[in-house]
Structure 1
Amino acid sequence: MTVELRVLRPAEWDVWFSCVERAFGGVRSSPEARELWQELTEYDRFIGAWDGSECVGTTGAFGFRVTVPGGAAVPAAGVTAVGVAGTHRRRGVLTSMMRRQLDDVRAWGEPLAVLTASEPAIYGRFGYGAATRLLRLAVDTARVALALPAGVDAVRVRYADPVAALPACEEIYGRLAAGRPGTPVRQPGWERRAVLDAEQDRAGASPLQCVLAERDGETVGYATFRITPEWDSAGPKGTVTVRDLGALDPAAYASLWRFLFGLDLTSVLECGTRPVDDPLLHLVSDVRRCRPRVQDDLYVRLVDLPAALQARSYRVPVDAVLEVEDAFCPWNAGRWRLVAGAGGGARCVPAPEREPDLALSARELAAVYLGGGSLAPLAAAGRVRELRAGAVEEVSTAFSWGAEPWLPHGF
C-alpha cells in the first residue's frame, strides 16, 4: 500500500479528526470539544497520512511558546493528535510522520518540540525525553487539616461565572507562567480550553464552578472545579475535582485550598495535575492521606540544540563540552561547547577539536532541559558517560532550577 503524507486541508478536518478519535479508543468527542479543536487547528502545521481516500495517520504541531529556566518564552512545536490506524501499524507510518514533522519544525526555526505521551515507550526513539512530572492527589479532607499562613483572613473568596472570570484568571496564569518552566504561554483561543464544559465530559459531576480570591478589590487567585455528589448510609461523601488553581501569594493560595477543603457534603478532594513541588504538600497535616502519585508528563525534543541551550538561563556558571548523539536529527550530533554565566548569556558552539566532558544523547539532554531532574541518575544508569571527573555534578547543577518544571494543561 502507498501512503501519502500531506498538509491537512480544511475540507478534510472531519475525516482527519475522526481518525484521531478512533486511534484514541473511538469515543466521539462532544460537539463543543470538536468545535474548539477545529478552531484551534493550524492547518499548515497539521499532517494527515492517506491511503487513497482513507485517513490512516494523524499528527499536528501547534505554534506554542514555552517558558524555560530564566523566564524566556521559547518557540516550541506543541505536538498533538499523533495516531495511526490499527490497519496500518508497523508499516513505518509513524516514523515517516515524525521525520516529516521534525524537519518542518526545524524549517520553521523553532528550537523545541514538546508533547504529552499516551504511550511513553514510543517517543524516546525519536529523541524526546521526559522533562516534567505531575503530581496527582486524592485528599481525605475529613482527616487532613491545613496549616494556614498569616493573612488568609484578609482574602475574600467569592463565586464567579467561569467564562466571565476568564480575563482575571488568564492574567494570573500569565503572571505565574514566567516563573514556572514548562508552562505554555497562552496563544489566542487557548483560554477557551480552560472553561470547556461539555455535559458529556462531566461523568456525573456538576458544571464547572469558579471562585476568585480577592484582596482590596484586586483578584489575587482563582480556582475552577467540579463537585460529584455521592451518598451512602452514613451520609454525604462527595468529591471535589480541581481543574485549575493559581494564586499570586501564599495567603491567597491557602485561602483557595481552605475553601475547597471546606465544601459541604464532600470528603474527598482530587487534583489531577499539580507541580511536584506544590506548596499544598507543606500545608497539609498528613501527606499520606493525600495519596500523592507522581508520573511523567511533558516530553521535550531539542530540535535545534545550540539555539535551545542558548535560550535558557543556568543556575551557576558552566563551561563544558558535550558529545551528543542524535541519530534522528543528525544536525544536532557532535561536540558542543556550552559556556554560560549564572542567570543568562549562554553560548553553545561546535567544538570538534575539544575533548568532551560528557557523552550523552539528545534524549537525556532534553530530559533535564527545563531544569527538572539530574544527569546523575542517568549516569548511574549508563545513559550519560562522564569523561572528566566532576562533570556530571557541574553540568547538573547548572541545568537545575528553583521551581520544578510543570505543564499545567494538556494539548
Structure 2
Amino acid sequence: MTIEPRVLQPSEWDAWHSALVSAFAGESTSEERELYRSLTEVERCLGVWDEDRPVATAGLFSLRMTVPGGALVPTAGVTMVSVAPTHRRRGILRSFMRRQLDDVRTAGTEPLAALTASEAPIYGRFGYGLAVRSLAVRIDTGRVRLRLPAAVAAEAAELRLRQSDEAASLLAECESVYARVLDRRPGMLERRPGFERERLLDPERRREGASPLRCVVALRDGEPVAYARYAVKADWTESDAPAGEVRLRELEALDTAGYAALWRFLFDIDLTTWIVADNRPLDDPWQHLVDDIRRCPTRLNTDSLYVRPVDVGGALAARTYATPVDVVLRVEDEFCPWNTGNWRLSGDEKGAVCEPTRDAADLSLSVRELGSAYLGGTSLHSLAGAGLVTEERPSSGALRAASTAFASETAPFLPHGF
C-alpha cells in the first residue's frame, strides 16, 4: 500500500466515514450520518486506502473564527482525523498534516488552522498551540442561592419552553441570539450552514439516562435575548428526596438580565439539586452571582482548542491588540518553514500590520507558542516563564508590552466542536 493521501470521492464517503467511526470505537445513527454527510466538504477530505479499504481519514471545514477585536477570520478547521490501529506508525498522520497545511497555504485564504484533539500530545509537533481552555461545573443548587443585583432582577424577561416539534422556530430564535454574541469572545465559531442542526442532535446513547434535549428562550418585547439548551436526569436519595441533575449543554445571552433570568430558571427546576456543565467559559459571570462558591466546584478542562498560524503575517494582522504594540518577533516554524524569520508587528485596538523584517528580534518563540497566545487566553509572559518565549534584550520591556497587547478582555471560548 502507499501512504500518500488522496482526495475523497463522493461515492467513497460511506466507507470513509465508517472507517472514521470505527477508529473512535463509536457508532452513528442514520440521522447523524445524513447530517455529517451534508456537512462534509468532500473536496477538502483526504484518505489513505489499503487496496479498496479506507484505513485513515482527515478533513477540513471552512470555518470563520472570532479573534480579539471581533473580526471573523477564515480558519481551516482540522477534523475527522483517524488512523486504523493496524496502520499506525507509518507516517500517515504526518502526511495528512503536511498535505493539509500545504493546501491551505496554496489557497491563500485562511491564515489560521485550528483543531480539537482526542489526545493532547499529538499536534504540538505540527505547530498547533493550546489556545482555549474551559470550565467543567457542578453547582449544588440545593444549597447555593443566586444573588442578583436589584436592577438585573427587576428587568423583565419572558421565558418560554420550546419543544422538539418546534424545531424550526427554536433554531431561528437561538441562532439569532448566537449570531449577535459571536463577536464578543475570541474562539467563537460562525455557524456554517447545517451546523445549527448539529446542536440539536440528541441520540439516546449520549443521554446517559437523562431526558431528551430541552430548550428555554428568554424574550423581551417578543424578541429572543437569551437561550439555554439542557436535559434533566432524575435521581433520588435513599430517603426518597429529589437529587436530579440539570445538564446544561449551551447558554448564550445578549445582556445581563437575560443571562441571569436563564440561570435563575435552571436553579429553580423542580426535583433537581445540581447543575452540571462540561463546557463553560473560564470567566463565566455566574461565578459572581452565587452565595457560596465552595459548593460550586469547577474543574479546568486542560485543552479545548488548538490554533496554528499558517500565514504568520496574515494571522497577526487579522486581529487587534489591547494596547499599542510595535515588536519584532523571531518565529521558528520547522513544519512550515515559510513562517520562519523575523516579523515586525505594529498595531493597536484599531488594527495591525505584520510584515517580514531584517530588524533584530525583540522576542523569540516558536509558531506553537504564537498559536497559544493568539486568541489572548495564554499570556506571552506565562510562556516566557516556562522558557518558551525569550526576551532578547530583557531591559527593553518588549515582553511586558507584547504580553499586555496580546491579551483579550474576555476569555476565549470554543462553544462547540467541529
* TM-score using structure 1 length: 0.97
Q: 1:301 aligns with which of 299, 308, 326?
A: 308
Corresponding residue for residue 155 of structure 1 = 157
Corresponding residue for residue 264 of structure 2 = 258
1:322 paired to 2:329: yes
Once the 2 structures are TM-superposed, how far is the Cα of residue 180 of structure 1 from its aligned partner?
Answer: 0.8
Once the 2 structures are TM-superposed, how far is the Cα of residue 288 of structure 1 from its aligned partner?
Answer: 2.4
Corresponding residue for residue 337 of structure 1 = 344
Corresponding residue for residue 219 of structure 1 = 224
Q: Distance in 2 between matches of 1:7 and 1:226?
A: 39
Corresponding residue for residue 412 of structure 2 = 405
Corresponding residue for residue 185 of structure 1 = 190
Indicate if the aligned counterparts of 2:79 and 2:115 stay in contact, CA closer than 8 A: yes
Query: For 1:297, what is the secondary structure of its paired residue?
Result: strand
Once the 2 structures are TM-superposed, how far is the Cα of residue 34 of structure 1 from its aligned partner?
Answer: 1.5
Letter in 1 for 2:305: L
Once the 2 structures are TM-superposed, how far is the Cα of residue 287 of structure 1 from its aligned partner?
Answer: 2.0
Query: For 2:46, what is the secondary structure of its paired residue?
Result: strand
Corresponding residue for residue 293 of structure 2 = 287
Letter in 2 for 1:161: Q
Q: Distance in 2 between matches of 1:218 and 1:281?
A: 27
Corresponding residue for residue 32 of structure 1 = 31
Q: 1:210 aligns with which of 215, 240, 251?
A: 215
Query: For 1:273, what is the secondary structure of its paired residue?
Result: strand
Corresponding residue for residue 134 of structure 1 = 134
Indicate if the aligned counterparts of 1:3 and 1:52 stay in contact, CA closer than 8 A: no
Corresponding residue for residue 319 of structure 2 = 312
Letter in 2 for 1:90: R
Tell me which stretches of 4 or more aligned residues in structure 1 moved more than 6 Å: none
| 1:115-167 deviations in Å (ceiling 9; x for gaps) | 11111100100000011111110111101111113243421212113523111
Once the 2 structures are TM-superposed, how far is the Cα of residue 232 of structure 1 from its aligned partner?
Answer: 3.0
1:274 paired to 2:275: no
Once the 2 structures are TM-superposed, how far is the Cα of residue 388 of structure 1 from its aligned partner?
Answer: 2.2
How many residues align? The count is 408
Once the 2 structures are TM-superposed, how far is the Cα of residue 374 of structure 1 from its aligned partner?
Answer: 0.4
Query: For 1:335, what is the secondary structure of its paired residue?
Result: strand
Corresponding residue for residue 70 of structure 2 = 71
Indicate if the aligned counterparts of 2:377 and 2:411 stay in contact, CA closer than 8 A: yes
Indicate if the aligned counterparts of 2:3 and 2:91 stay in contact, CA closer than 8 A: no
* TM-score using structure 2 length: 0.95
Corresponding residue for residue 379 of structure 2 = 374
Indicate if the aligned counterparts of 1:48 and 1:56 stay in contact, CA closer than 8 A: yes
Q: Distance in 1 between matches of 2:5 and 2:198?
A: 29
Query: For 1:405, what is the secondary structure of its paired residue?
Result: coil
1:19 paired to 2:26: no
Identity between Structure 1 and Structure 2 (%) = 55
Query: For 1:69, what is the secondary structure of its paired residue?
Result: coil
Once the 2 structures are TM-superposed, how far is the Cα of residue 217 of structure 1 from its aligned partner?
Answer: 1.9
Indicate if the aligned counterparts of 1:325 and 1:361 stay in contact, CA closer than 8 A: yes
| 1:249-289 deviations in Å (ceiling 9; x for gaps) | 11110110010011111111111111001001111122222
Indicate if the aligned counterparts of 1:4 and 1:50 stay in contact, CA closer than 8 A: no
Indicate if the aligned counterparts of 2:44 and 2:61 stay in contact, CA closer than 8 A: yes
Q: Distance in 2 between matches of 1:337 and 1:184?
A: 28
Indicate if the aligned counterparts of 1:4 and 1:51 stay in contact, CA closer than 8 A: no
Corresponding residue for residue 97 of structure 1 = 96
Corresponding residue for residue 59 of structure 1 = 58
Corresponding residue for residue 362 of structure 2 = 357
Where structure 2 has 5 or more consecutive residues not aligned to the other structure, the ranges are none
Indicate if the aligned counterparts of 1:30 and 1:200 stay in contact, CA closer than 8 A: no
Q: Distance in 2 between matches of 1:264 and 1:5?
A: 54
Q: Distance in 2 between matches of 1:31 and 1:45?
A: 23
Q: CA RMSD in A?
A: 1.2
Query: For 1:121, what is the secondary structure of its paired residue?
Result: coil
Query: For 1:142, what is the secondary structure of its paired residue?
Result: coil
Indicate if the aligned counterparts of 1:210 and 1:225 stay in contact, CA closer than 8 A: yes
Letter in 2 for 1:8: L
Corresponding residue for residue 400 of structure 2 = 393
1:248 paired to 2:254: yes
Letter in 2 for 1:57: A
Query: For 2:361, what is the secondary structure of its paired residue?
Result: coil
Farther off after superposition, 111-120 or 147-156: 147-156
